Amino acid sequence: MHKIISVKTCANFRLELMFDTGEERLFDMTPFLEKGIFTQLKDENLFKQAHILWDTVCWPNELDISPDTLYLRSEPINPINNAEPSSHFKKPRHERRI
């Protein structure tokens, strides 16, 4: 399960998210603004009250969204570098003693 550690509201109903993995992702909330309880978030003042509670994004009026939904439907902002470890991290050599 994904955990969100910070949220920043952005223009056009977008959320800038930081996950516990260190990943930064951008989530577009606009497709959700026409659905059920999320229609309340069309009010920009309410949308801007986004905060973290229970490892996900929440708003007043008991509005929240699954952290997995936020992860799966968001785009990376700053992809994690999956490069090989630096060469100065060498594995110990095993010497054979006679």
The CATH number of the domain covering residues in 4-76? 3.30.2020.10
Q: Which amino acid is present at 32?
A: F
Given a contact cutoff of 8 angstroms between Cβ atoms, the answer to whether 62 and 4 are in contact is no
Q: Comparing 9-13, 39-43, 83-87, which segment has the lowest mean pLDDT?
A: 83-87
- pLDDT of residue 13 exceeding 70, the answer is yes
Beta partners for residue 7, in sequence order: 17
User: What is the token pair recorded at 97?
Assistant: 């003693």
Tens-digit pLDDT profile for residues 30-83? 999 999 999 999 999 999 999 999 999 999 999 999 999 999 999 999 665 543
Convert 29-49 to b/e letters by CB count within 10 Å (16 or more is b): beebeeeeebeebeeeeebee
Residue 79: per-residue pLDDT: 60
Residue 18: per-residue pLDDT: 96
Measured CA to CA, the distance from residue 19 to residue 60 in angstroms comes to 21
Residue 86: per-residue pLDDT: 36
Residue 80: per-residue pLDDT: 55
**Global pTM value:** 0.77
Provide the residue ranges of all domains of the chain, joining segments of one domain with +: 4-76
Measured CA to CA, the distance from residue 44 to residue 60 in angstroms comes to 13
Other C-beta atoms closer than 10 Å to the C-beta of 9 total: 16
